[in-house]
Structure 1
Amino acid sequence: MAEQLWSSQRHRTAISRVGLSAPARQAVVDLQLEPGTQVLDYGCGRGGDVRALQNLGLDVSGWDPVHHPKGELKPAETVLLTYVLNVIEDPAERRQTVLDAWNNTKSALVVSARLRWERNQIKGTEYGDGILTSRNTFQHLFAASELRDYVQEATGVRCLSAAPGIVYAFKSDEARLSYLARQITPEAGWLASQDIASAIAAVVDHLEQRGRLPNLEEMPQPVISLLGHLRTGELKRLTQESANPLKVEEGAKRTTLDTLLFLAVELFHGRGPASSLPLSVQLDIRAFFSSYAEACKRADRLLFKLRDDAYVRRAMNGSTAGKFTATAFYVHRRALYRVPTLLCLYEQCASIAAGRPGKWSVVKLRHQGRGVSWLDYPEFDTDPHPRLAASYAVDLETLRSSFTSYADSTNRPLLHRKHEFLAGDDPDAPKYRRLTEAEVRAGLYENPHVIGTEAGWERELTRCGRALRGHRLVRRPDST
């Protein structure tokens, strides 16, 4: 197999790593690589991920035709195919490599590849469908949505983009849907239970968070052990007596909307029977809808509204969180859950198409056309006017994606009126609002076409005789 799949100078692309690669780290965050999981790193290079994952308590084996040719090549629950496809110059061999990795997969295949926006980092000439580098290695660069389609076609299963350049393929619909459900509605977790009172408190918390009582199968073992002697009716009475009715009502509303969002997103992949859904989603449907068919119809109506420009604009303009402009809607990531469900669906559609980046602070949703940009402002909380570090954009009409880095820019774009990107009750909003009001009084926003970049903003500060001390506007010492 090694002689058939690997040739030329491909081994020279393997790099030494101290920590996890970005794809392996993403898989850990997404609970695809948990302690005890059996993992195969197919084409492991110098073995950096193998060692790092072993340190996390995983059962990991690695195989590489040059660096680890004697590695154990056997089926595993999760298989990593990390930056291998890029270096294979033969298209047929490239596809066969995906199939070989897939055939060794029991549960999930994690495929990662370098993307086209990295072209300027690679010195070389065009060769075949890629680049022949100055080191006599080959690089085939993928578009973000192309990678998902490529893996999907090779494996024959519906795939999901976990992040730009990282794709998950699952052996079962149940595993894929469980992942998707966690992405849309992350589990809040259960409160610790040491005695009956704390176990009841944990059930009450679930009731308030989700709007319904949990089934026995959803409860952690300590809660079952402490409350197993109670009849269902008695447990229901005890929890409902302790629960806050307003919180239960709010939890039910939130769960209903999350269920609609999940079902709308799942339509992109061909909706299956109710029995294929994660247990928690099945129970939510039973609790808050008359039937699975009724829930699907409501989700389909929500998805249809996403095509209506006027409806989308009304949702943006009426949102209690975020900033609505002439062309787009902007909202900070910690306020995203406060916007209308339709806008959450908008963002999720883009994420499925090309992957949501790991680092972002503000998401931009266009209402003229359909496109999403995730904007990274690393110092959003500490800088009164945070600078843009990078932008990752997806055009939903063409499925083309682009990445722009401002790391080397001397005149980066920056933000104003930070409070407008947050929910009104965000604890930082009053501080940001006070700064904006002081800047307006000082005349700093009289030339809005100038202040969008570092240089323009600094000129306006000088013109108005002002300086910033944290989130306070002060007079410059040299101003009159």
Structure 2
Amino acid sequence: MGEAGWATERQRTAIARSRLSVPARQAFADGQLLSGRRILDFGCGRGDDVRALERLECHVTGWDPHFQPDSQRSPADVVLLTYVLNVIEDQVERRETLRAAWALATAVLVVSARLTWERSKVNGGQLGDGVVTGRRTFQHLFTTHELRQLVEDITGSRCVAAAPGIIYAFREETARLSYLARRIAPDLGWTGPDDPSTAVESLVRYVERRGRPPRLEEMPTAISEVIAKLRPAILRNLIRKTAHPELIEASARQSTLNTLLFLALELFNGRGRFTSLPLSIQWDIRAFFSSYQEACRRADRLLLKLRDDAYVRGAMSASRVGKLTPTALYVHRRAMDAMPTVLRLYEHCAAIAAGRPEEWTVVKLKHDGRAASWLHYPDFDSDPHPRVRSDYRVDLRTLEASHRSYEGSTNRPLLHRKHEFLAPDDPDTALYQRLTAEEVRAGLYANPHLIGTEAGWEAELARCGRDFRGHRLVKREWDHPSG
């Protein structure tokens, strides 16, 4: 990455930021940039991410061939390669840069790049496999599949798309699997005990939420020290007398389904050995299945069902959450975990292959063809008929992704019957149901083919003489010319 022989002015692509870049923010949220880890920002530009991470008490250094060429490039637990590959016009050097960053990463390499849908933001002429701008900067825009394939080729590891254009390459298989497990079922929290009775209470709550007793290794030290003093028979008797059996049974079913979802997703991404699984998953398998082989067989059948159009359509029809249309099922993010397991697998496979966007409100799963879209309605909770801002779509057949922004559109699609996107027990469902009933009585759904966009909906509101006050339908106050 030396300056000698550069055909373009790469340093001019280093923009100043007032906060963490999107890739660094994603890695921080995913628990990759822990305070105890050493972090290297490889190609750090002006060093804004380095300074922001320092404020978060991370142990971070930065190196850049133009702005910080004398900084040390020492091995680090986490190496960030943020929007560096885009600006390298030579394909061989691009690969060598990625290889150099991987050689320094002892735990995980975080690679990010700009994607092809940003082409309209890059003005310039074609040069090789990219664009040269008027400022003599170069941009190669990746497809999501191309970026993941490149990182996997260089690192030799099975990678995970953390978000669109952000790829994680882990050194250890156990770290990758732990990351996947957290995405499916976040770790259960514990409350610290003040005395032995509180420790037992915390243990009982864990059993009710997980469906099985925890191992000592899963417990916080303060709790395990108390629990270890109790004889197993006494502990089992306390759980039997204190825990609610129906909660344990329901949680055991959910933990079983989560384990199957994890194993099926892992098969989609390449399955590892039993001993490489997170310990909590190993203990779930021992608790809820007769063997690892049996769990894998059931997970394999689940993944096969994802390829069966009739089965997927049946699961969508049977789902207790989501709005079913002739082409797809639409589900709000708050209701995702209530979908049938095969549909949760559908969404997770798309997310692992090409990344789930940072901002989204509703996921759309096609009946057939296997494509998932994450739609962003930023005003879903406040607007009775929210307008879409963006649509990020992943095709599971090709693993390619596309993005559409509606920011400049004057006639955006909007939502109706908001309650149908949510779970029946969502606190907002009743409010949205009442609004829909009012709209039906007012005749606003008499012409469904007209109301899918802003212009058509406004015309129907005018025809019916209606307007909104929050999530209430009111008669429209017409303006009259003054006499």
TM-score category (smaller protein): over 0.9
One-letter amino acid of the counterpart of residue 308, structure 1: D
- Structure 1 CA distance, aligned partners of 2:144 and 2:154? 16
**Take 1:180 and 1:7, find their aligned partners in 2: how far apart are those partners?**
41
Which amino acid in the other structure matches residue 449 of structure 1?
H
Give secondary structure in 1 for the equivalent of 2:168: strand
SS in 1 for 2:93: helix
User: Partners in 2 of 1:370 and 1:292 — Cα distance?
Assistant: 29
Partner of residue 99, structure 2: 99
- Residue 221 of structure 1: aligned partner: 221
CA contact (8 A) 1:5 1:97 kept: no
Q: 5+ unaligned residues in a row in structure 1: which ranges?
A: none
Question: Secondary structure at the residue paired with 2:275?
Answer: helix
Q: How far 1:409 moved relative to its partner?
A: 1.4
Q: Which residue of 1 aligns with 2:80?
A: 80
Query: Any conservation in 2 of the 1:213–1:236 contact (CA below 8 Å)?
Result: no
**Aligned-residue offset at 1:469:** 0.5
1:5/1:246 CA distance change after superposition, 3 Å: farther
Kindly tell me the number of residue pairs found equivalent between the two proteins.
480
Alpha carbons 2:8, 2:138 under 8 Å: kept: no
Partner of 1:230: helix, strand, or coil? Answer: coil
User: In terms of mean alpha carbon deviation, does 218-227 or 33-42 score higher?
Assistant: 218-227
- CA drift at 1:7: 6.4
> Offset of 1:263 from its aligned partner?
0.3
Matched residue of 1:126: which SS?
strand
Deviation per residue, 1:54-86 (Å, 9 max, x gap): 111110010001111122210000000000000
Q: SS at the partner of 1:449?
A: helix
1:411 positional shift? 1.4
Corresponding letter in the other structure for 2:120:
N
Could you say what secondary structure the match of 1:194 adopts?
A: coil
**Match status 1:231 vs 2:231:** yes
Report if the CA contact (8 A) 2:444-2:464 is conserved. Answer: yes
Q: How does 1:423-462 map to 2 (within 5 A)?
A: 423-462=423-462
Per the alignment, residue 419 of structure 1 pairs with 419
In structure 1, how many angstroms separate the alpha carbons of the residues matched to 2:269 and 2:5? 32
For the pair 1:246 / 2:246, whether they are aligned, the reply is yes
Cα distance in 2, alignment partners of residues 4 and 40 from structure 1: 23
Shift of 1:239: 2.4
Q: CA deviation at 1:429?
A: 0.4
Letter in 1 for 2:28: V
CA distance in 2, matches of 1:109, 1:51: 19
Residue segments in structure 2 that go unaligned for 5+ positions in a row: none
Query: Once the two structures are superposed, what CA deviation does each residue of 1:228-260 show, in whole Å capped at 9, x if it has no partner?
Result: 311233222222321111111111000000000
Alpha-carbon distance in structure 1 between the residues aligned to 2:33 and 2:193: 27
Identity over aligned residues, as a percent?
A: 60
Give the superposition deviation at 1:4.
6.5
Distance in structure 1 (CA, Å) of the matches to 2:125 and 2:233: 72
C-alpha displacement of 1:188:
2.4
Aligned positions of 1:20-35 closer than 5 A: 20-35=20-35
Using the TM superposition, give the Cα deviation of residue 264 of structure 1 relative to its aligned residue in structure 2, in angstroms. Answer: 0.3
CA distance in 2, matches of 1:44, 1:225: 45
Quick check: 2:3–2:66 contact (8 Å CA) kept in 1? no
Once the two structures are superposed, residues 285-344 of structure 1 have per-residue CA deviations (whole angstroms, 9 ceiling, x without a partner) of: 000000000000000000101111111011000011111111101100110100100000
The 3-state SS of whatever aligns with 2:107 is: strand
The amino acid of 2:200's aligned partner reads I
Q: Which amino acid aligns with 2:345?
A: L
Residue aligned with 2:449, SS: coil
What is the Cα deviation at residue 271 of structure 1? 1.4
TM-score (norm 2): 0.97
Determine the C-alpha separation between the residues in 2 that align with 1:291 and 1:265.
Answer: 18
How far the C-alpha of 1:129 sits from its partner, in A, is: 0.6
Counterpart position of 2:463? 463
- Assess if the C-alpha contact under 8 Å between 1:465 and 1:479 holds in 2: no
Bigger mean CA offset, 307-316 vs 227-236: 227-236
User: 4+ residue runs of structure 1 moved beyond 6 angstroms?
Assistant: 4-7
Q: Quick one: distance in 2 between partners of 1:170 and 1:95?
A: 18
Task: State the alpha-carbon separation in 2 of the partners of residues 334 and 139 from structure 1.
Answer: 37
C-alpha separation between the residues in 2 aligned to 1:179 and 1:369?
28
